[in-house]
Chain A
Amino acid sequence: MTSGLWELVLKGIWVTVQLLVLSSLLAAAVSFVVGIARVHRLWIVRFLAGFYTEVFRGTSALIMIFWVFFVLPPAFGWQLVPMWAGTLALGLTYGAYGSEIVRGALNSVDPAQVEGGIALSFSPWQRLRLILLPQAVPEMIPPFSNLLIELLKGTALVSVMGMGDLAFSGNLVRLALQESAEIYTYILLIYFVIAFLLTRLMRGLEKRLKAGIGEVPEKSVSQQELGRPETTGVGGGVV
C-alpha cells in the first residue's frame, strides 16, 4: 500500500470518529429525554415516548439511513449535509435503544429512595436530579458501553451512502489495488482497536461513577445477558 492510500484510510478514520462522537452525543441526549419520559407521571407522555422507541427500534438502522438521505429531502424540501444526515439517522435509532437502558436503570432504583424524596418534599425534578439519576447512571454504563460498540459498528453503514468513512475508504483502496485481503484486514483491525479503546474508556468511567456511590463494578456479564427481556436488542447485554 502506498502512502497516498494510507492517507485515504486516515481520512476515513477521521470521518468515522467524527460521526461516532456526534451520533453518540445525539443518541445520549435522545436516550435520556425519551427514557425519562417513559417513567413520566402522565400516560400520554409515556405513550408517546414508548411509541418513539418502538418505531425507531423496530426498523433497521440502514433503512433509517436510506430514509433520511432519500425521503426527507424531497418530503420537506431541505437537504442535509451527509455528516448530519448520518448523525441524525444513527442518533435517533441508537437513541431509541439507549432509552430502554435509561428506563431500565431508572426502574431498578429502589422505590424507597423515591418515597424518601417525596417524604422530604423534593419536587419531581429534584427527585430525578438528586436521587434517581445519581444512582441510576452508574448502572447504565455497562449496557451503554455495549451500545456504543454497536454504534461504532453502525457508523460503517453510512459508507453505503457514499460517505467517506473508514469502510468506504476500504472500498476505494480495494478498487485502486484490485486486491482486497490486505486492506479489509487492516480496516477490521482498526475498527477492533477503536472498539477496544472505547470499552476501556467506558470501564474507567464506570469505575469512577460507581466509586462515587460506594460500589465496585461487577465482573460477570452472564446474568446481564439473560435479564434482557425488554429489548428487541442490538448487541450483547443491552439490558
Chain B
Amino acid sequence: MTWDWSAVGDFMPHFWDGLLVTLQALVLGSLISFALGLVWALLMRTPTRWVRWPVGVVTEFIRNTPLLVQLFFLFYVLPEWDITFSAMTTGVVAIGLHYSTYTMQVYRAGIEGVPAGQWEAATALNLPMTRTWTAVILPQAIRRVVPALGNYVISMLKDTPMLMAITVLDMLGEARLFAQQNFQFTEPLTVIGVAFIVISYPASLLMRALERRLVR
C-alpha cells in the first residue's frame, strides 16, 4: 500500500469545501425532516381515515424505497414537469422528505408516550385543541424524542454522500473529482471515510448522553 501525504495536503482545500456542502445539506435536510415529520405525525392522528390512509401509504412507500432512486426521481422527473431546482435543493428536499418518514415515527412514539392523565387534565381544564397540543402534549413529547431525532440526523449525515450521484459536490463528490483528476484514489477516499467517523462517533456519544438526561 502506498500512502502519499502530499496528496492529502493537496486534497484538504477541496475537503473543506465538500464538508461545508455536506453540513449545509445536513442542516437543511434535518430542518425539513423535523418539520415535515411532525406534520405527518399529526396528520396520522386526525380522526378521519381519509387522511390517515393516504398519509400512511405515502410515507410507508417513501420509507421502504431507496433514497438514491428517489433522488434520481426528483432530479430527472421534476424538470420534465417544468419544475427546476438546483441539484443541491433537490438533494436537500429528497433527504428531508425521506427522513421525515422516519422522524414521523419518532414523534408518534413521543406523543403516545405522554401519559393519558395529561390529556385528561387538559380536557378538565377546558383547554382548546391547539393549546392542548402546543402547551401540554408537544413540549413533553418532543423533549423525550430529541435523542432519537439526533440519531436520525447522524444517519442522515451518512446518507449525504448519495447527493454526489446527482452532481452535488459534497465530501464524496469532491473526493471523487480529485481522485479522477489526479489518479489518487486511496488518500481522498480514506480522508473522507475517517472524517465521517470523526464526526459521527462523538455525535453518537452526545446523543447517548442526551438520552440519559432527557428521557427518564
Contacts and interface: CB of A to CB of B under 8 A. Distances in A.
Contacts of A171: 72
Interface string A47-68: 0000000110111111110110
Interface in A209-239: 221-223, 225-226, 228-237
Contact of B158 (A60, A149, A167, A195): A60
Interface stretch (B27-35, B119-127, B189-197): B189-197
Nearest to B79: A180
A71 B4 CA distance: 13
Interface string B59-85: 001011111111011001100110000
Interface string A186-214: 01100110011000000000000000000
A157 B162 contact: yes
A62 B64 contact: no
Interface residues of B, number: 63
A58 B196 contact: yes
Interface stretch (B8-16, B45-53, B131-139, B148-156): B148-156
A195 B105 contact: no
B138 to A, nearest CB: 16
Given A184-B77, A232-B203, A195 B154 contact: no
24 contacts: A58-B201, A58-B204, A63-B189, A63-B192, A63-B193, A74-B186, A75-B1, A153-B66, A153-B67, A153-B68, A157-B68, A174-B76, A180-B73, A180-B77, A184-B69, A188-B65, A221-B105, A225-B106, A225-B148, A226-B106, A228-B148, A233-B155, A234-B158, A236-B102
Interface of A: 54-55, 57-64, 66-67, 70-71, 74-76, 149, 152-157, 159-160, 167, 170-171, 174, 179-181, 184-185, 187-188, 191-192, 195-196, 221-223, 225-226, 228-237
Interface of B: 1-2, 61, 63-70, 72-73, 76-77, 80-81, 102, 105-106, 108-110, 112-113, 144-145, 147-148, 151-152, 154-155, 157-162, 164-165, 172, 175-176, 179, 185-186, 189-190, 192-194, 196-197, 200-201, 203-204, 207-208, 211-212, 215
